[in-house]
Amino acid sequence: MIYGERKVKAPIRWAMVGGGKGSQIGYIHRSAALRDHSFQLVAGAFDLDPERGREFGAGLQVAPERCYADYQTLFAAEAKREDGIQAVSIATPNGTHFAISKAALEAGLHVVCEKPLCFTLAEAEELRALAERRQRMLCVTYGYAGHQMITQARAMIANGELGEIRMVHMQFAHGFHSEAVEQGNPSTRWRVDPRYAGPSYVLGDLATHPLYLSEVMLPQLKIEKLLCARQSFVRSRAPLEDNAYVLMQYSGGVMGHLWASAVNAGSMHGQKIRVIGSRASLEWWDEQPNQLRFEIQGEPARILERGMGYLYPEAREDDRIGGGHPEGLFESWSNLYYRFALAMEACDAGEHDRVKALHIPGIEAGVEGVRWVENCVRSADLGAVWVDYR
Ligand code: NAD
């Protein structure tokens, strides 16, 4: 159970790059990082427009001289201060993640970066090597992974409650971009432009979320081959896809399927993961995150509820209010952010076993997301053929 007490010895001095006024994702980063006193927001380069960024930082109670015009000045100036920042979160469009993460690691900072981590596997590997060399954490905000019922699912699968795993079905299929809304919305415009979004739209933007959930629930599964078909139903988005289907063959003959879409008209979010075993199946839906559906063959379906005594102890650790009360995405992110802070503290102390014991989307998750998108794009661009996973 969480009562809001600080879990780290001292709050980590923290800055943000991006996430400024009007951005989609900045507020949930701040809300999650500041929720349990793990971080203290002391600096930032919040906006592409320096003046707007300064004004915004002032509204967040950041000292005016620590609201910087750009990330280069932020890292250089903070490195000169005794009380300079120790960590930074990067909440900017995809095309900037690699350069900003690299600069932050080179400045000796722990990093929390938005997904997808970067555009290519080669870049991702370079960041991994740099993080290892500098002994810094590089975390990636696959924000749904902090939901308690994801932890419950992982424990149930690990304890054999589903029997032998046979299939994994995933989807993240919303309908918000069924029309060319990007023409009037800057937050959507860069997402369908390869210069800023990279080699994919929904594969990187949406599909990597349930993909990471599958990695959390089924850490033993390894993809051997995949086949991806992608389409641009709103034609002006080509070559980037607004819909994609991916078939996966895992080690041990397990099969997987992932549907990612921004044109699933009428759907709110539609992010689901269903794991099917020889005895039973589990299903989790992000629109009802406090529930986990457990179906044993031949028995009535059960709905397991967050915060209840019958869950595994690890699935109750992050309970903030008790069963029956809905918790949501903001709590899920807060659960990840306090673990990021614990990982950074352990990393600073050289306690690598403590880092490993924390379930967080770290650099491996970031690299895997980029690797998966790269394989999907390769398969799709070869004409939707099976490709060996590499
Ligand atoms: P957005 O376009 O709404 O906002 C981007 C913000 O970054 C703006 O404030 C902009 O001024 C600022 N910015 C851009 N370049 C900058 C730079 N070089 N230096 C400083 N500030 C800069 O974008 P968004 O929707 O908030 O997405 C940002 C990132 O978050 C993307 O990578 C996206 O994929 C990711 N995202 C993740 C989730 C999630 O669930 N984890 C959800 C939404 C978005």
The enclosing H or E element of 342 equals helix 329-348
Q: What is the pLDDT of residue 361?
A: 98
Q: Is 165 found in the same domain as 301?
A: yes
Ligand 1 touching residue 89 (CB < 6 A): no
What separation in Å is there between the alpha carbon of 382 and the centre of ligand 1?
Answer: 31
Q: Which residues contact 381 (CB under 8 A, 6 or more apart)?
A: none
Residue 156 lies in a domain: yes
Residue 345 lies in a domain: yes
The predicted-structure confidence for 152-210, as pLDDT tens digits, reads as follows 999 999 999 999 999 999 999 999 999 999 999 988 999 999 999 999 999 999 999 99
Q: Which atom of ligand 1 is nearest to the CA of 23?
A: 3
Whether residue 24 contacts residue 51, with contact meaning beta carbons closer than 8 Å, is answered with: no
Q: Which atom of ligand 1 is nearest to the CA of 97?
A: 32
Q: Is 160 found in the same domain as 110?
A: no
DSSP-derived letter for residue 339 is H
DSSP secondary structure string, 149-165?
HHHHHHHHHHTTTT-SE
Tokens of 42: 């002391």
Q: What is the pLDDT of residue 162?
A: 98
Q: Is 264 found in the same domain as 192?
A: yes
Whether residue 340 contacts residue 323, with contact meaning beta carbons closer than 8 Å, is answered with: no
Ligand 1 touching residue 23 (CB < 6 A): yes
Ligand 1 touching residue 114 (CB < 6 A): yes
Q: Is 382 found in the same domain as 244?
A: yes
The total number of structural domains in the chain stands at 2
Q: Is 341 found in the same domain as 208?
A: no
Q: Is 258 found in the same domain as 354?
A: no
CATH number at residue 352: 3.40.50.720
Which domain covers residue 380, as residue numbers?
147-320+369-388
Ligand 1 touching residue 141 (CB < 6 A): yes
CATH number at residue 177: 3.30.360.10
Q: Is 183 found in the same domain as 129?
A: no
Q: Is 191 found in the same domain as 75?
A: no
Q: What is the pLDDT of residue 22?
A: 94
Q: What is the pLDDT of residue 377?
A: 98
Tokens of 334: 């807060």
Ligand 1 touching residue 369 (CB < 6 A): no
- Which residues pair with residue 89 across a beta bridge? 16, 112
Q: Is 378 found in the same domain as 348?
A: no
Tokens of 159: 């304890």
Nearest C-alpha to atom 35 of ligand 1 is from which residue? 114
Ligand 1 touching residue 187 (CB < 6 A): yes
Q: Extract the residue ranges of the chain whose pLDDT is less than 70.
A: none
Q: Is 379 found in the same domain as 277?
A: yes
Probe target for ligand 1 pocket from 24, 140, 195, with the most ligand atoms within 8 Å of CB: 24
Residue 1 lies in a domain: no
Residue with tokens 């722990």: 110
- Evaluate whether ipTM surpasses 0.95: yes
Sign of CA dihedral 222, 378, 200, 232: negative
Residue 222 lies in a domain: yes
